[in-house]
A and B are shown apart, each in its own frame.
Chain A
C-alpha cells in the first residue's frame, strides 16, 4: 500500500518544522495511540519494560522545551527507535510493537523504515519526508510504502485508508498547533526569542 501527501504549515520556518519532526517526544505526543517512542540499542527489545519505563514520561516539547534540549535528543541517522502504537481499525484494535530505523537524516530530508507486529497483524514500512519553505510557511511532502499482513490486511484498503488518513491528519494538525505556538511565543516576545534560537541550531 502506498500513501503520500503534502501538509502545509503557515507562519513557520523549515528549521522549526525540522526540529519538531526530529523530536521523538513531539512524535509521541502528536501521533494518536503512541504510548512511547524511545531509542533502543539492543536487538531483543522488551516492549513491556519500555512501556513501564517510558509510558508516563512527558518532558516539555516545543514551544515549552529549550531548542538545544530538543536538538540533543533528536533522531540520529542509523539509530533504531522502539514504539508502541495502538490503532483502532473497525472492530480490530491491535497494539503494534514497532521498531523504526532512521535511514537518512539530512536537512531538509528524513527517511525511515521499520516493522511492527501485533497479535494478529503486522506491517513493514518505509517512509520519507521533505521540507520546502514557501512564502507562507513550510510544505511537508511525505510518502510511505507499507505492506500490511494478517487480520488488518484482510480488512482491505477500504478500512485501512481512512484510518491512515485520520492518523496522518491528526499528527500534522497536532504538530502544526505546537509550531503555531512557537510563532506566537515569538510574536508576544514572551521569554526568549524562540525562532532565533531554533535557527541558531542550524
Chain B
C-alpha cells in the first residue's frame, strides 16, 4: 500500500491512509491468542465471593482429570520464592499499600481474585477442570460503594481499617473560603459518576514461552506499555531478570486504559510457562475480563461554585469519594487525585479552587484509568456545576462560560490547582461550535417546541485535557514512581530505508502511520521507505507506552528529536563530502545542498550509504546513521474544545434522541486529520455511552450483576448520531511538533455535553440534575416524581 501526502504536498498534516488496515481487514494481523498455537492453556479459578476467608483448596480432582497437566495455587507461587507483589506506581502522602499477590492464599477481596490455575492441553478441558477444584470459604460481608465504605465494616484490608487508602487535597482552602464568603451566590451539585467497564474488542490475553537453557522468558500480551510490564514483572512479581525477559505486544485490539496495568493473570501465565518449561497461553473471556480488568470512574462528589450575580466565578470547592476497588493498580491513586483535581479549572479563570479526594477500598474489581481518566471526571464536575449555576443565576450556559474563559493573552496560565496551561484560544473553538450548531436558532426552536409539549435540550460543554503524560521531574515530585519521557530511535539502513522505533504501543491508534509521517517530514524520505516498530522490548530500547494522550506529543516528540539528530549528523557528512562549510549546507525535501550552488547536492539516503561505508566521513566521526532520544516533555500539553449536544427527550417514555452532535476540538497541530477525526468519533461514542447507557452494577453481596454484554449496556450504532466535527489549531508552544494529543479529548467533552442537554430539555420539569446513566427509567422517574408541567 502506498501512502501519499494530500494536496498540500506535506506528509505531516496529510490524511494518509492507515497502513495498519490491510492486515487487520484481511485477517492477516496476529493478536496474542494467535501466537504459540501449540501451547497448553491456562484457566484461572476466580473467587465466587467478593469477600471471604479462604479455608481449604482441594485441587486433587482437577489434577486427575484427563488432559490436565498441572494445577497451581497461591501457595505454589509463594513457595517458588518470587517477589509476588503487584505495586501501585504513584505514591500519595499517607497512602496505604497492601500486598497484592498473584493468587490469594488466605483471603479473597473481590469476586475475581485468582485462587488457582489449571494448565491443560485443551482450552475447554482447562476451563471444565476449574469446576473440579473444591474451595472452602468463610464468607464475609462485602462493601461495594466508595462513600459507604469509608469508616464502615467490613474492612477490605487490615492495613486500612476505615477502608481509606488516601485522603488527598489540593488548592488553597483559605483562599477558597474567602472567595465563598465574598461571592454573591453559591451554587452546588451532588453527583455520582458510575463505574464504567472499559470494553476493548479484544479481552486481555497472554502467551508465554520459556527456554530453560538460556533462561529467556518471552511473553506476548495485550499491553499498552510492554516496557512497564517488563519492569514490573522483573522487579515486583516474577523476579525474572529484566535482560532475559522479553515482552511483546503484537496487534492489540483496543485498550482504553485497561491494558496499561500489571494484573495477576499475565504473570501467572508466564510463571506457569517457567514452572512447566513449556509454552502456555491464557485468553480471558469477556466476562472474566469484566470481573478482573479495571473499571473506571466510580466517584461520589459534592461540588460548590462561588459566583457573583454578573457571572464572575470566584471559587470552587469539591469533595469526592473515589472507589479504588480491592487492589491498587498502577495509576489507581493518580487517576482520582492528580489527573482529576488538577483539571477542575477547565477553560475558566476560576482562581481559588480546593479539592479533597478520599480514595476508598471496596470489594470490587480494581478501579483505574479509563479513556479520559480523571480529566473526564473532573471536567464533568465543572461543566455540570456551571450549568447548575447558570440556571441559578438566570444566565444562559454559554453566557456564564464566556464570561469566565481564560483569554489567549493569559497563557501560560496557572490554575488554582497547580497546572500551567500551555496555550489556548478557547473562545474561538466555542464560537465555532455554537456557529455550526446555530445556537441562537436552536433556542428559538426549543421555545417553539415546548409550546407543543416537545422537549428539546441543548447541552454545551467546554473542556481542557492535560495530555502528553508526563514531564518526569514534575511527575516525580508529585509521587510518580515512573518517568514520563518517551524513547525514540531513528535508524537509516545503508540502502536509505528507515526504521523508526518508539516506546509507545499501538492498540489501534495508527502509530505505524502517524509516527512514519513524523519521520518522513523530518527526514524528507518517502513514507513508504519508513517502517515503525513498537511493542517489543527486545527491539525498542525503552518506553513508557501509550495512554494519557501521550503518543503523538511525547512519542512523536521522541521520534522527531531523533530524526533531527540524524539530519544533523547527515549534514556534517554531507558538508564533508560536498567540501563545503557545514553552515552553508541547507536541507530540504531530503536533499543537502550547498547554499547558492544547487548543483552541489546529496540525498540523505546517499549520505546514509556513505555513513555505513565509513570510507569518506569526517575524522573523529563514528560510522553509521542513527539516533536515540529520550524525549522528556517540558510540561503537559493541553488540548481543548467545545462539544454541543442537541437532544429531544420524550417525558412519557424517558427516551433520549440525540438530534445533533457538534464537536470542535483543538489538539494543536494534526499529524493526520483523518486519524484525529477517528479519535474524536470513537471518543464521542464512549462519552455518550457513559452519559446514557453504561454502569457496572454490583449487588449487596459484591457480585457484578452486569457481568456480560447481555447485561452491561454499551451504545450500539443506532444509538449514536452523525457527528459534525471541526477543529481549530492552537499549537503547543513547547512540543517539537506543536501537537497536543487527542486520544481522550472527545470522551471528556461528550459526557457533560449530553448530560447538560438532557437536563436542559427537562428544565420545564424542574429537574436540576440527574445522575448517569440517563436511562429511560431514570428520566421517566425524574419527570414523574417532579410532577411535571
Contacts and interface: CB of A to CB of B under 8 A. Distances in A.
B661 interface: no
Interface string B694-708: 000001110111111
B703 A154 contact: yes
A119 B131 CA distance: 5
Interface stretch (A134-142, A144-152, A170-178): A144-152
A153 interface: yes
Interface of A: 119-122, 124, 147-151, 153-158
Contacts of A158: 710-711
Nearest to B61: A119
Contacts of B49: 122, 149-150
Nearest to A150: B48
Q: Which 5 residue pairs of A and B lie closest in terms of their CB atoms, listed nearest first?
A: A150-B48, A154-B707, A153-B703, A119-B131, A156-B705
B139 A149 contact: yes
Given A148-B701, A149-B49, A149-B111, A154 B130 contact: no
A113 to B, nearest CB: 15
Contacts of A120: 48, 130-131
A156 B130 contact: no
Contacts of A147: 700-701
A122 B706 contact: no
B291 interface: yes
Contacts of B706: 156
Interface string B127-143: 00011110000010000
B659 interface: no
Contacts of A119: 130-133
A124 B701 CA distance: 11
Interface of B: 48-50, 111, 130-133, 139, 287, 291, 699-701, 703-708, 710-711
B48 A156 contact: no
A153 B706 CA distance: 10
A121 B48 contact: yes
Contacts of B711: 156, 158
6 contacts: A121-B48, A147-B700, A149-B48, A149-B49, A154-B287, A155-B708
Contact of A153 (B130, B139, B701): B701
B702 to A, nearest CB: 8
A149 B701 contact: yes
Contacts of B131: 119-120
A156 B132 contact: no
A156 B713 CA distance: 14
A149 B108 CA distance: 14
Given A149-B111, A158-B711, 10 more contacts: A119-B130, A119-B133, A120-B130, A147-B701, A149-B48, A153-B703, A153-B705, A154-B291, A154-B703, A155-B708
A124 B139 CA distance: 11
Nearest to B700: A147
Contacts of B48: 120-122, 149-151, 153
A148 B48 CA distance: 10
A149 B132 CA distance: 18
A60 B743 CA distance: 71
A153 B132 contact: no
Contacts of A157: 705
Contacts of B287: 154
A66 B703 CA distance: 46
Contacts of B707: 154-156
Contacts of B699: 153
* Residue from A119, A120, A122 whose CB has the most chain B CB atoms within 10 Å: A119
A124 to B, nearest CB: 8
A109 to B, nearest CB: 27
B500 to A, nearest CB: 44
Contacts of B704: 154
B756 to A, nearest CB: 31
A150 B133 CA distance: 14
Contacts of A155: 707-708
Nearest to B708: A154
Nearest to B45: A120
B62 to A, nearest CB: 10
Greatest chain B CB density within 10 A among A122, A150, A151, A154 is at A154
A95 to B, nearest CB: 10
Given A119-B132, A120-B130, A156-B711, A150 B111 contact: yes
Nearest to A160: B705
A154 B131 CA distance: 16
A153 B144 CA distance: 15
Given A120-B48, A158-B711, A149 B703 contact: yes
Nearest to A90: B710
Contacts of B132: 119
B465 to A, nearest CB: 34
A122 B291 CA distance: 17
A153 to B, nearest CB: 4
A106 B710 CA distance: 44
A148 B130 contact: no
A121 to B, nearest CB: 6
B132 to A, nearest CB: 7
A120 B62 CA distance: 14
A63 to B, nearest CB: 40
A148 B111 CA distance: 12
A10 B710 CA distance: 41
Contacts of B710: 158
A99 to B, nearest CB: 14
A48 to B, nearest CB: 12
Contacts of B111: 149-150, 153-154
A155 B703 CA distance: 10
Contacts of A124: 139
Contacts of A149: 48-50, 111, 139, 701, 703
A126 to B, nearest CB: 15
A21 to B, nearest CB: 29
Nearest to B290: A154
Nearest to A151: B48
A9 B32 CA distance: 60
A149 B707 CA distance: 13
Task: Determine which residue in A120, A148, A149, A150 has the highest number of CB atoms from chain B within 10 A of its CB, and name it.
Answer: A149
| Of B48, B130, B139, B700, most A-chain CB atoms within 10 Å | B48
Nearest to A157: B705
Contacts of A148: 701, 703
Nearest to A155: B707
A119 to B, nearest CB: 4
Nearest to B52: A149
B3 to A, nearest CB: 46
A108 to B, nearest CB: 32
A47 to B, nearest CB: 12
A158 B706 CA distance: 10
A119 B701 CA distance: 18
A162 B705 CA distance: 16
Nearest to B131: A119
A39 B388 CA distance: 63
A94 B49 CA distance: 16
A119 B45 CA distance: 10
A103 B111 CA distance: 30
A72 to B, nearest CB: 36
A120 B707 CA distance: 15
Contacts of A150: 48-49, 111, 703
A120 B708 CA distance: 16
A120 B45 CA distance: 9
Nearest to B699: A153
A84 to B, nearest CB: 15
A151 B290 CA distance: 13
B109 to A, nearest CB: 14
B102 to A, nearest CB: 21
A144 to B, nearest CB: 16
A158 B131 CA distance: 23
Nearest to A95: B131
Nearest to B128: A119
B653 to A, nearest CB: 21
Nearest to B704: A154
Contact of B705 (A122, A151, A154): A154
